[in-house]
């Protein structure tokens, strides 16, 4: 309770008081003595308890501020922000005012369903900084007043001396002051997949990337091996994780293209609907067709009819169904509109490790003397063999290869555990790869360690750039086994092991080894040198790093996913550019990009690889130039990732950004589509993403893009259908009034058409399967309106066609039956049935703007045929059920009436098919894709 009180008190003060010391960005470049001096701390005794409490009150607790979260109420209200929904609410009020309670309730049901689906998918609010809390630790082991004690991590202050141990998380940012085999996995922060070996050595590069600051440790990163100490240099929001939290909070989530387009469509519909209905009311009243109040009722009915009640519901349903399909394809979408936005993506910014690669380090080659030994098999399963020039090698009788394998397994702290088919790697993935390749040769790490017991070691550090372990052989001899940077080991070697035994290492030999090293590195392999030395009894530590016998080189890779290259090729065909943003080194990333075909733009122009240090200080023009000319960004910071996304968006791109770490969160939030990795992704990344890929596979992203394109096409299909049908209803009444005829439809018939024949086919069109060439078209222009001039023209002339055949049937009815009470009712029934059936059949036309309805794809959408059948049954009920005849003011058509209704209903199909045929002939040689 006392600790909680202190934290609360410090927290309240931290909001009102500034930090007492200025933030220092270059702790990694200061000598340790200077670090302790600036922090006013003791390197052995730590802080005094009283001093620590005073600093806590001044600096504030070591906690992260929570982001402003959306309340449940705000999420619910957001579902009603669409202008179309507002228009529907107004239509509901009008219907209630007119006494049309059934219509009003029906519209309300549509609104509630739409809001419910949207709310259910978005209720999980953006908890970016809340998720950041999960990256922090609850307790810390700290030295105060010379004694080690355990305190709440929130009470840590700059200057505290913290004890680090394997299995724990780093409780604050700090400078390493002691390291014994200390390795920290920082992928969540830096994007680098390998655990970093920490050292106390001084760095000189002030602008070095976080992943290169081997003498620093950062809040929330995981200690995988060894032990050490650090002096705290930053806590809370001043840590690297805290700074990312500030970026997340500052990043503004933009409306998706679909949300923007639907908003503009709502504005347009308000103007058009009110204008058209006002003209109809005034025209009918002035011509004396009926009294003003009856004409107003007709006008309001047309207004309700003109508003596409089904649009929000069908849009939401289409997106929700697409969401379910994507979930089956291992892509979970968190926000409905993001489903469609995927179809507009023009650039995918992707991580490398685990997304394009398998995230399983694998030894694939040994360079031994003049030989290259290739190793088959990938991943952490001990399956594979050894080959020279494609011929098998018996590793048990190959002394040189056996020695290299033994060094790799013994000079190693990693363990690979297999339980129930699951593989767990404990330690560095690079060392795990050396264990696995030894197992491929039939070696057992436990047995080998028992045969060659380890007596001492020198852990890897960035200064020596090698690791040494000392073992006693079965005959009692003592050996030092060494692995590390090839250049370092070659410089420390005087001899080499070869086919004829141990020979002198000449300058020519060294040059040849350096060339081999460069050759392997340029093939995107991580290369280590292997060496050993027999030690005398009573050796000293200086003997471990000199007069080595160089054994050879081992090259390992993180294999590419089998489907990655094909997925990137699909993106290229679809007009989508792929950009790699990674924490790995520049040469490795560039080679991976070349292998995958990312290293050129869509026109084949070569693109470069940029290191993060080249991005520092760029102005707006510089950013625009860099994102246009680069395919790979290596060793980048969180700020750089965010700026890359912003620069691409400034160029008009719709950007999808993949990520898994805390460092990716700001860019994920800023991107048009943020895509988090489900397996290795942090909670922060997932909370800020629009979509989560459950298998961390780039190919799943491409599949989601295809679904997004299908969804956008389906939205256009039901828009085509809904708007042309609604427009035909307005035109039918308007044209009849202009001609001077009686009203061809009564108010309830208009409302029936709007609820029955509009909704069911529209829902079915939302389930239309993919067109065969959907991933061979360029992305749609996000600035292009849903209602392009061509699309509006299509709606207008087809609406006129539907209205024309309706008026034709009405004219025939008036001619046959007259315009008195009973005759007009019969004529109105003919018009009503003609328009209803014409709209139902028109759903077949709406499946494609150019492709014929009568192809092999005619029966691919079973839902559409079910909708047609339901509408036909309901229309028959409208004239044959006495109750509906009374409500809708219809009568039973005669046989001759049915012939006229059928002919007029099918005429639009024939006309539209003829127009499509002419269009196909006209564009056949222009390469225009079918919609």
Residues marked active site are found at: 351
Report residue 210 as tokens. 């976080």
Give the helix/strand (H/E) hosting 8.
helix 2-14
Query: CB-based contacts of 348: which residues, under 8 Å, 6+ apart?
Result: 571, 576, 577, 578, 579, 655, 656, 657, 658, 701, 705
Give the helix/strand (H/E) hosting 456.
strand 454-458
Report residue 739 as tokens. 């001609």
Q: Rounded distance, CA 399 to CA 77, Å?
A: 74
Task: Answer for the pair 809, 904: CB distance below 8 angstroms, yes or no.
Answer: yes
**How far from chain centre, in Å, is Cα 727?**
39
Q: Which residues of 554-576 are buried (b: 16+ CB within 10 A; e: fewer)?
A: bbbbbbbbeebbebbebbbebeb
Query: CB-based contacts of 683: which residues, under 8 Å, 6+ apart?
Result: 131, 134, 135
CA angle centred on 198, ends 195 and 204, rounded to 5°: 120
Residue 608 three-state SS: strand
The tokens 């959907």 sit on which residue? 774
Residue 788 three-state SS: coil
Query: CB-based contacts of 35: which residues, under 8 Å, 6+ apart?
Result: 27, 175, 231, 233
Task: Answer for the pair 648, 671: CB distance below 8 angstroms, yes or no.
Answer: no
Task: Answer for the pair 576, 346: CB distance below 8 angstroms, yes or no.
Answer: yes
Task: Answer for the pair 837, 919: CB distance below 8 angstroms, yes or no.
Answer: no
Report residue 729 as tokens. 């209803």
Q: Rounded distance, CA 268 to CA 262, Å?
A: 10
Task: Answer for the pair 234, 173: CB distance below 8 angstroms, yes or no.
Answer: yes
What pairs with residue 608 in β-bridges?
A: 630
Task: Answer for the pair 176, 463: CB distance below 8 angstroms, yes or no.
Answer: no
Q: Rounded distance, CA 885 to CA 882, Å?
A: 5
Alpha helices, H only, 348-504 = 399-410, 429-440, 445-451, 486-491
Report residue 924 as tokens. 């056949």
Q: Rounded distance, CA 831 to CA 815, Å?
A: 13
What sign results for the dihedral spanned by CA atoms 659, 662, 663, 665?
Answer: positive
Report residue 77 as tokens. 């209200």
Adjacency order of strands within the sheet including 577-582: 331-333, 691-693, 673-677, 655-659, 347-350, 577-582, 630-634, 608-611
DSSP assignment letter at 562: T
902 closest CA partner among 875, 882, 863: 875
What pairs with residue 495 in β-bridges?
A: 504, 549
Q: Rounded distance, CA 512 to CA 528, Å?
A: 15
410 closest CA partner among 460, 382, 445, 358: 445
Quote the crossing angle between the two packed helices 83-98 and 257-286, to the nearest 10°.
30
Distance in Å from the first CA to the final CA of the chain: 67
Q: Rounded distance, CA 582 to CA 797, Å?
A: 52
CA angle centred on 676, ends 670 and 678, rounded to 5°: 165
Residue 497 three-state SS: strand
Task: Answer for the pair 650, 665: CB distance below 8 angstroms, yes or no.
Answer: no
């Amino acid at each position: 309770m006392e600790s909680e009180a202190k934290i609360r008190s410090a927290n309240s003060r931290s909001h009102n008081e500034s930090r007492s010391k200025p933030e220092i960005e270059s702790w990694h470049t200061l000598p340790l003595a200077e670090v302790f001096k600036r922090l006013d701390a003791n390197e052995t005794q730590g802080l005094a308890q009283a001093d620590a409490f005073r600093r806590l009150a001044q600096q504030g607790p070591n906690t992260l501020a929570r982001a402003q979260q959306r309340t449940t109420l705000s999420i619910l209200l957001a579902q009603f922000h669409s202008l179309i929904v507002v228009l529907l609410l107004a239509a509901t009020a009008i219907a209630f005012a007119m006494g049309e309670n059934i219509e009003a309730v029906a519209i309300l049901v549509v609104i509630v369903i739409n809001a419910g689906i949207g709310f259910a998918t978005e209720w999980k609010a953006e908890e970016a900084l809340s998720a950041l809390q999960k990256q922090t630790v609850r307790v810390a082991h700290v030295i105060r007043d010379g004694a080690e004690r355990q305190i709440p991590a929130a009470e840590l202050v700059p200057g505290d001396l913290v004890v680090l141990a394997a299995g724990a998380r780093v409780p604050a940012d700090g400078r390493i002051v002691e390291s014994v085999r200390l390795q920290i996995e920082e992928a969540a922060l830096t994007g680098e997949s390998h655990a970093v070996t920490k050292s106390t050595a001084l760095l000189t590069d002030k602008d070095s990337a976080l992943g290169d600051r081997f003498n620093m440790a950062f809040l929330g990163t995981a200690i995988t091996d060894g032990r050490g100490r650090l002096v705290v240099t930053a806590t809370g929001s001043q840590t690297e994780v805290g700074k990312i939290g500030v970026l997340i909070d500052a990043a503004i989530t933009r409306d998706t293209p679909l949300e923007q387009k639907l908003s503009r469509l709502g504005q347009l519909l308000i103007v058009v609907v009110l204008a058209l209905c006002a003209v109809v009311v005034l025209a009918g009243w002035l011509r004396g067709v009926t009294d003003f109040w009856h004409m107003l009722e007709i006008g309001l009915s047309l207004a309700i009819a003109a508003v596409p009640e089904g649009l929000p519901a069908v849009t939401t349903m289409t997106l929700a169904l697409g969401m379910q399909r994507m979930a089956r394809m291992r892509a979970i979408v968190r926000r409905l509109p993001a489903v469609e936005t995927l179809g507009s993506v023009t650039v995918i910014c992707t991580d490398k490790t685990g997304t394009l690669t398998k995230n399983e380090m694998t030894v694939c080659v040994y360079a031994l003397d003049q030989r290259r030994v290739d190793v088959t098999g990938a991943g952490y399963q001990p399956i594979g063999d050894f080959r020279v020039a494609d011929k098998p090698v018996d590793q048990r009788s190959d002394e040189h290869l056996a020695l290299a394998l033994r060094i790799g397994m013994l000079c190693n702290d990693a363990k690979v555990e297999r339980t129930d088919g699951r593989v767990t790697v404990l330690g560095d993935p690079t060392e795990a790869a050396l264990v696995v390749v030894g197992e491929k040769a039939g070696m057992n790490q436990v047995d080998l360690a028992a045969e060659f017991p380890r007596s001492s070691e020198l852990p890897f550090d960035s200064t020596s750039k090698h690791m040494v372990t000392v073992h006693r052989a079965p005959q009692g001899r003592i050996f030092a086994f060494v692995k590390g940077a090839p250049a370092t080991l070659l410089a420390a070697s005087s001899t080499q092991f070869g086919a004829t035994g141990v020979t002198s290492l000449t300058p020519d030999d060294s040059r040849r080894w350096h060339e081999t090293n460069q050759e392997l590195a340029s093939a995107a392999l991580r290369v280590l040198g292997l060496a050993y030395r027999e030690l005398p009894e009573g050796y000293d530590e200086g003997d471990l790093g000199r007069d080595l016998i160089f054994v050879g080189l081992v090259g390992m890779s993180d294999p590419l996913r089998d489907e990655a290259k094909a997925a990137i090729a699909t993106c290229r065909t679809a007009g989508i550019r792929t950009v790699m943003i990674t924490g790995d080194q520049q040469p490795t990333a560039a080679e991976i990009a070349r292998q995958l075909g990312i290293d050129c733009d869509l026109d084949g122009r070569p693109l470069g690889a940029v290191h993060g240090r080249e991005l520092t200080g760029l102005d707006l023009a510089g950013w625009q130039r860099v994102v246009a000319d680069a395919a790979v960004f290596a060793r980048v910071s969180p700020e750089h990732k965010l700026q890359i996304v912003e620069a691409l968006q400034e160029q008009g791109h719709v950007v999808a950004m993949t990520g898994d770490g805390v460092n990716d969160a700001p860019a994920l939030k800023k991107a048009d589509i943020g895509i988090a990795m489900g397996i290795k992704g942090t909670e922060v990344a997932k909370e800020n993403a629009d979509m989560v890929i459950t298998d961390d596979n780039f190919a799943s992203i491409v599949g989601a893009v295809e679904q997004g394109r299908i969804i956008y096409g389906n939205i256009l299909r039901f828009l085509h259908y809904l708007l042309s049908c609604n427009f035909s209803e307005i035109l039918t009444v308007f044209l009849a009034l202009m001609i001077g005829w009686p009203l061809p439809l009564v108010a309830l018939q208009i409302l029936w058409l709007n609820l029955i024949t509009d909704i069911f086919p529209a829902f079915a069109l939302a389930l239309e399967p993919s067109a065969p060439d959907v991933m061979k078209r360029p992305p749609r222009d996000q600035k292009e309106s849903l209602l392009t001039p061509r699309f509006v023209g299509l709606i207008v002339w087809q609406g006129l066609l539907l209205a024309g055949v309706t008026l034709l049937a009405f004219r025939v009815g008036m001619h046959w039956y007259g315009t008195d009470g009973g005759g007009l009712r019969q004529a109105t029934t003919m018009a009503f049935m003609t328009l209803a059936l014409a709209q139902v059949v028109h759903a077949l036309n709406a499946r494609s703007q150019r492709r014929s309805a009568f192809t092999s794809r005619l029966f691919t959408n079973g839902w559409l045929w079910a909708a047609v059948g339901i509408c036909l049954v309901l229309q028959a009920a409208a004239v044959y059920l006495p109750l509906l005849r009374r409500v809708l003011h219809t009568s039973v058509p005669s046989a001759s009436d049915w012939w006229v209704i059928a002919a007029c209903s099918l005429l639009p199909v024939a006309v539209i098919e003829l127009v499509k045929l002419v269009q196909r002939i006209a564009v056949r040689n222009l390469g225009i894709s079918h919609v």
